Amino acid sequence: MTDQTSTPTPDPIIDARRREMAIEHLLFGTIRFVAQRHPDLLDDLDRSVDHLWDRTHGDARDDDAVREIARRFVKSLRAET
């Protein structure tokens, strides 16, 4: 008798999003932990945002969108520390 249950084929987009959510959670927690001990860290991160750029090529590239996400991330961290 063979096993008739099949394992669903993983969706690379869903898998990538799940990895992204896990990484964001771990990174956010790590930065919050360090920033509580080193308050100047958030100032340094804030100053570094202008150096961010979108590695996407073509019409999808949006450096400002990447920077805005980073600014919201730092703002959220400031609210928690």
**Looking at the predicted structure, is the pLDDT value of residue 58 above 70?**
yes
SS3 letters for 28-48?
HHHHHHHHHHCCHHHHHHHHH
pTM of this structure: 0.71
Give the mean pLDDT of the chain.
91
How many angstroms separate the Cα of 61 from the Cα of each of 7, 13, 21, 40, 58? 36, 19, 21, 31, 6
Whether the CB-CB separation of 49 and 74 falls below 8 Å is answered with yes
Helix (H) and strand (E) counts in the chain: 3, 0
Structure tokens at 65: 């969108």
- For 8-39, write each residue's pLDDT tens digit: 778 999 999 999 999 999 999 999 999 999 98
User: What pLDDT is recorded for position 1?
Assistant: 55
Per-residue model confidence (pLDDT) at position 26: 97
